[in-house]
Structure 1
Amino acid sequence: MTFTASNSSAKPTKPNILLWIARILVGLLFIFSGLIKANDPMGFGYKLDEYFHVFHMGFLSDFSTWIAIFLCAIEIILGGLLLIGLAGRKVAWGLLLLIIFFTFLTFYSAASGAVKSCGCFGDAIPLTPWESFIKDLVLLVLILIIFIFRKQIKPIIKSPFTLNLLTLLIVIVSFGIGIFTLYYLPFVDFLPYKEGNNIPSLMKVPEGAEPDVYEHIYEMKNKKTNENKKVTDKEYMSQKLWEDEDWEIIGEPKTTLVKKGFELKIPDLIISDMDGTDRTEEVINNPYYNFIVTSTNVSKMSPIDLKALEKINNTIRELSEDYNIRAILATASSSDEVNYLNDQMDLVLETFYVDAVPLKSMVRSNPGVMLMLNGTVIKKWSSINFPSKEELIKNYLDKAP
């Protein structure tokens, strides 16, 4: 499909400033949103998974990552074409349909509480569903402006060849970023297990940190007058209502969060052995190089992933002959699945069990590898870019303190 620029002999018209403002804001925001999510398509796929389960569409779960890549690419493409003014009417329709869908989704998430974070900007800028809904309402207004004046959208470049070349480039980049980061990990890691982070320190509340502040509201009834009233816990204490025998508390108090306190970056990491013994401290505080091979589900590995795991296992086996290292398989899979895998590969990796939630944040790959030293994440690899024995020795093991 080729596009042609508008007729250069047409009478110039006065630019629609409102339309241009809407185009620039919407275009840039859609590109930014698409790029942020395309940086971590597997993470966006996990978020889509939540929506699929909420709407009883679990049959799409196996394709969630590829659907995520497609949606990210569509956002970037629509934003890019809007800015250069190409296929204005089609882009306006695409934006309108997309924002109506997103607005419904974020409102449903906010009203039902089914999804705690929308994932609009990935893990880079976490938004609550209500914040996302307000953002979508603003976007809806801007996109309505674009839709109303869609006939006035003209290409900013006159050359049809340049326009077609630019369009092709936008499409290639839009899909290419998501596919690349799927196989080679995100360009920028916004998760708590990113390289350079010290895991034990992110699991502890620092001294002097303020906790969450809650308010308890009591519903009270006067035994003599049958009067009902609500009082906070502070009012209950300051007025010494417990001393007044005429008043009694009805039901359970309602608790609301008044002020958010310090929040642990890693609140849910528990590493246990096959007997269920907690080995978290032992693993994360290991003073030597520690290869943590992660897999949320070993049964969902493709033949290519299994071949990659075999390479990882063999490389670590060879390294262990000459270097003091530890290597574990952290997985949420069942013992039967792990035992079957062990029989097939003769794993040199110690098996430990970790909940799927923190596992998904460690390495965006199944399998993935996280190299740690004394609690600090040194390097992370996906299943296909795990280095050779020689590279590991040269870049890491021979540089060990």
Structure 2
Amino acid sequence: MKFIVAISRIFVGILFIISGFVKLNDPLGFSYKLQEYFGTDVLNLPFLEPYALGIAVMVVVFEVVLGIFLLIGYKPKFTVWSLLLMIIFFTFLTFYSAYFDKVKDCGCFGDAMPLTPWQSFTKDIVLLVFILILFLGVKHIKPIFSKLGTTVIALVGFLASLSFGYYVLMHLPAIDFRAYKIGDNLQENMTLGPDAKKAIIDYVWTYTLNGEEKTVTDRGQGPAEYDEIIGVETKEIQAADLPRIQDFSIESEDEDLTDYFLEKDKLLMIVAYDLKSAEKDGMLKLKSLADEALKKGYTVIGMTTSDEATKQNIKSVYNLDFEFYLCDEKVLKTIVRSNPGVVILNKGTVMQKKHWNDIEELKL
């Protein structure tokens, strides 16, 4: 039992630290995922949506800290009980999401390792088994340092996790796993290679022929002869590969300008998914940035989901000399975890990306 508990302790502790750290690297992204869960079509808890970021930070910090506590043996009963309650909640959440097909990606490992709801549920079941072993063998979980040393490490782990979370919120994720990271080319990420897998779908046809009901399975052709088609069911055998970027666009009210702007060799994009909720301190910095960029030959555009009246009002209030174009809100939130944020492209390749707090660090 001691050996089984020791193995479970290492496995669960490391997995919780990795899973928590990946989300702690991007707490804003995890908060967007929580907003999906809180939505009326999932858990129907819309009153929690305004608090999603605070909840996200608390959950991921606690997740990392529990992993550290388990590995060093700090307060074993508290740690194991907390792990058990957390994994039961996560298991319910992933099962609900998978069974009712509500959220396509649980966000367990952020953008680093997207998992389907059923994959997430399976992962949680495996973790639940290991945590139950720890629960039953909690007496075998001993501190690996002295009482003072264990307490100090636990405290340092908590403070380090909290500090790291605050840092990435005030700047940008330390590690960018998204398809808009520095060095990525958007046109390439919007297309598939020649070796991309195509969808394979079986069609099960039910039909009548000479008064007799029959079925035939094929890839979409249908029965060669029939009196009447009663119905057809489909089953996906192989999912098609999808491009890493699917919904990115730069649109005016009546025109798609995506290709036009992605061919620019000096494009500065100011991303503010919602101009009404954009940080005022950040918006105040945009005027001088845009003016300097225009002087140095950059094409400067804004990207938002806000309506025309809001765009014109913001331009007037902050005296901005560039146009705002439309893009999907989820895409804009993915491009840069800041409202506003700045991205510099060279023929579609991301050269620089900054939080509004770090606009001064841009090299034009």
Indicate yes or no: 2:182 matched with 1:185.
Answer: no
Indicate yes or no: 2:246 matched with 1:267.
Answer: yes
Matches within 5 A, 1:2-401: 16-53=2-39, 54-158=42-146, 160-207=147-194, 209-225=196-212, 227=213, 229-234=214-219, 241-243=223-225, 245=226, 247-251=227-231, 253-273=232-252, 275-287=253-265, 289-301=266-278, 305-321=279-295, 323-387=296-360, 392=363, 397=364
Distance in 2 separating the partners of 1:85 and 1:209: 47
Q: Cα offset for 1:222? A: 4.1
Distance in 2 separating the partners of 1:340 and 1:220: 61
SS of residue matched to 2:205: strand
Q: Is the 8 A contact 2:25 2:168 kept in 1?
A: yes
| AA partner of residue 144 (structure 2) | I
Q: Is the 8 A contact 2:74 2:151 kept in 1?
A: no
Distance in 1 separating the partners of 2:185 and 2:275: 27
| Deviations 1:8-67, CA, capped at 9 Å, x for gaps | xxxxxxx81111111111000000000011111111111111100011112222221221
Q: Percent identity?
A: 37
Q: Cα offset for 1:210? A: 3.8
Q: How many residues align?
A: 362
Q: Cα offset for 1:330? A: 0.1
Q: CA RMSD in A?
A: 1.8
Larger Rg: 1
> 1:28–1:348: structure 2 CA closer, same or farther, 3 Å change rule?
same
Q: Cα offset for 1:234? A: 4.7
What are structure 2's unaligned runs of at least 5 residues?
none
Q: Cα offset for 1:102? A: 0.4
SS of residue matched to 1:270: coil
Q: Is the 8 A contact 1:295 1:329 kept in 2?
A: yes
Q: Cα offset for 1:208? A: 5.1
| AA partner of residue 372 (structure 1) | L
SS of residue matched to 1:309: helix
Distance in 2 separating the partners of 1:164 and 1:124: 31
Q: Cα offset for 1:209? A: 3.5
Q: Is the 8 A contact 1:34 1:73 kept in 2?
A: yes
Q: Is the 8 A contact 2:203 2:220 kept in 1?
A: no
Distance in 1 separating the partners of 2:138 and 2:67: 14
Distance in 2 separating the partners of 1:143 and 1:312: 50
> 1:349–1:60: structure 2 CA closer, same or farther, 3 Å change rule?
farther
Distance in 1 separating the partners of 2:343 and 2:196: 29
Q: Cα offset for 1:283? A: 1.2
What are structure 1's unaligned runs of at least 5 residues?
1-14
> 1:36–1:234: structure 2 CA closer, same or farther, 3 Å change rule?
closer
SS of residue matched to 2:224: helix
Runs of 4+ with deviation above 6 angstroms: none
Q: Cα offset for 1:113? A: 0.1
SS of residue matched to 1:214: strand
Q: Is the 8 A contact 1:313 1:349 kept in 2?
A: no
Distance in 1 separating the partners of 2:348 and 2:242: 20
SS of residue matched to 2:357: coil
Q: Is the 8 A contact 1:215 1:256 kept in 2?
A: yes
TM-score normalised according to structure 1 size: 0.86
Q: Cα offset for 1:236? A: 6.1
TM-score normalised according to structure 2 size: 0.95
| AA partner of residue 233 (structure 1) | D
> 1:222–1:88: structure 2 CA closer, same or farther, 3 Å change rule?
same
Q: 1:11 maps to which residue?
A: none
Distance in 1 separating the partners of 2:211 and 2:108: 55
Q: Cα offset for 1:224? A: 2.1
Q: Cα offset for 1:313? A: 2.4
SS of residue matched to 1:299: coil
